[in-house]
């Protein structure tokens, strides 16, 4: 099986060409708008490339825009894509609150709207597809507490404008709070990382270690980027590999850190399953066909804000908790990450067999 990273190189080339095509599409072709919050997060350019390839293979035109963490720009880009005549919008929201206005306006204009992985906080969307985000948090809590079940814990959340970060925290606290209640764990720092930015996580963790005189026993971080930023700070104090820390997304860098004994665990969310669902769903919506597999959830439940009104059709895929014991089987053998990339600094005689 081709390695996923190798495929991505080819797909990225397709994406680079496809998003710059000026030739007119076939008459009557479906037009999908892709709105991405940013490309700094490792997974988003990968998913943009995969969705573009899948759409073009089905004869669908794609317009793609990236907001570079600018919520107002994302709204403007969405409005512009509606003016360009898209039939469906797939939106990765920078801010689930701010983008709600543009998404609702698009919906009212007859454009189907799919919130991809991140919730858009309005009932005027046609679907929200993601992974089981609360279970992501539970997996992170389990991964860390399986190593250290007491002491000083740091909770390192994601971007506060991303509803997923709130759900991750809920899942994390499902595991950590009982230990706090019985006095085994003390949360000495609880911070959010703007834009999920690794450099921000590094600065935050440096400050926490200074304030705590390095007396930190575990870090519940919400994705691989924030975890690897925190690990830089831990490494500078000789604590990397000694203080358990969680991640998410099974990035190449995150998996490499796991096999090297620094990052404790990550959560594998197989985007190769989510992207085809998004494109197939978009085409069905454009053709006014019924979409199966959706279940209604209230916005109050999805956001934990009990005053929110309305419901949204949703689909949530399962996730896999990954650590040094199963990273090879789950992530490498499946082709999601490259064997050579993940094990490149591991001596040859200490590596598992090449799949």
pLDDT digits (tens, 9 = 90+) for 78-122: 999 999 999 999 999 999 999 999 999 999 999 999 999 999 999
- Is the overall model pTM greater than 0.85, yes or no? yes
**Average pLDDT for residues 44-48, to the nearest whole number?**
94
| 4-130+271-317 matches 133-269+321-350 in fold | yes
Residues with Cβ within 8 Å of 192's Cβ and at least 6 positions away in sequence, in order, are 157, 158, 159, 160, 165
In this prediction, residue 26 carries a pLDDT of 60
% of the chain surpassing 70 pLDDT: 92
Q: Which of the four pLDDT bands, split at 50, 70 and 90, describes residue 161?
A: very high
Pair 224, 254: CB distance under 8 Å: yes
| Class of 4-130+271-317 in CATH | alpha beta
pLDDT at 304: 83
Q: Which sequence spans correspond to the domains of the chain?
A: 4-130+271-317, 133-269+321-350
Handedness of CA 108, 109, 114, 119 (dihedral sign): negative
Q: How far apart are CA 154 and CA 139, in angstroms?
A: 16
Q: Give me the pLDDT at residue 42, please.
A: 84
CA distance 206 to 185: 21
**pLDDT above 50: residue 272:** yes
What digits encode the pLDDT tens for the residues 208-227? 999 999 999 999 999 999 99
Percent of the chain with pLDDT over 90: 90
CATH number assigned to the domain with residue range 133-269+321-350, chosen from the 4 options 3.40.50.1110, 3.40.50.300, 2.30.30.90, 3.40.50.2300 = 3.40.50.2300
Continuous H helices in the chain: 4-18, 43-57, 71-83, 100-108, 133-145, 163-181, 198-211, 224-236, 252-259, 271-286, 299-303, 327, 339-342
pLDDT recorded at residue 27? 55
Is it the case that residue 45 has pLDDT exceeding 60? yes
Q: 83: which 2 tokens?
A: 């003016």
Cβ atoms of residues 264 and 258 within 8 Å: yes
3-class SS of residue 69? coil
Please check the confidence at residue 287 and state whether its pLDDT lies above 60: yes
């Amino acid at each position: 099986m081709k390695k996923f990273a190798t495929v991505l190189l080819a797909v990225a080339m397709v994406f680079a060409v496809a998003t710059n095509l000026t030739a007119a599409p076939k008459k009557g072709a479906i037009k999908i708008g892709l709105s991405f919050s940013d490309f700094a997060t490792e997974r988003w350019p990968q998913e943009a490339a995969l969705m573009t390839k899948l759409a073009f293979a089905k004869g669908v035109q794609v317009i793609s825009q990236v907001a570079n963490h600018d919520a107002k720009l994302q709204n403007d880009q969405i409005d512009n894509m509606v003016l360009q005549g898209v039939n469906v919008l797939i939106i990765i929201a920078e801010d689930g609150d701010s983008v709600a206005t543009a998404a609702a306006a698009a919906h009212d204009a007859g454009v189907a709207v799919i919130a991809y992985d991140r919730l858009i906080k309005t009932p005027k969307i046609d679907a929200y597809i993601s992974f089981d985000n609360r279970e992501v948090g539970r997996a992170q809590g389990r991964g860390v507490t399986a190593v250290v079940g007491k002491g000083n814990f740091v909770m390192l959340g994601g971007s506060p404008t991303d509803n997923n970060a709130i759900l991750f925290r809920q899942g994390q606290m499902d595991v950590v709070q009982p230990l706090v209640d019985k006095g085994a764990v003390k949360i000495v720092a609880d911070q959010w990382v703007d834009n999920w930015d690794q450099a921000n996580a590094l600065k935050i963790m440096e400050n926490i270690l200074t304030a705590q005189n390095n007396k930190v026993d575990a870090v519940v971080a919400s994705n691989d980027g924030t975890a690897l930023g925190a690990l830089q700070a831990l490494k500078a104090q000789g604590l990397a590999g000694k203080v358990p820390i969680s991640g998410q997304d099974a990035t190449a860098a995150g998996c490499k850190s796991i096999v090297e004994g620094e990052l404790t665990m990550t959560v594998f969310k197989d985007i190769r399953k989510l992207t085809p669902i998004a494109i197939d769903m978009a085409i069905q919506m454009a053709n006014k066909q019924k979409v199966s597999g959706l279940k209604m959830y209230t916005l109050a439940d999805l956001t934990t804000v009990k005053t929110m009104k309305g419901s949204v059709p949703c689909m949530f895929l399962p996730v896999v908790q990954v650590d040094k014991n199963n990273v090879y089987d789950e992530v490498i053998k499946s082709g999601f990450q490259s064997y050579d990339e993940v094990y490149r600094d591991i001596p040859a005689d200490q590596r598992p067999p090449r799949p």
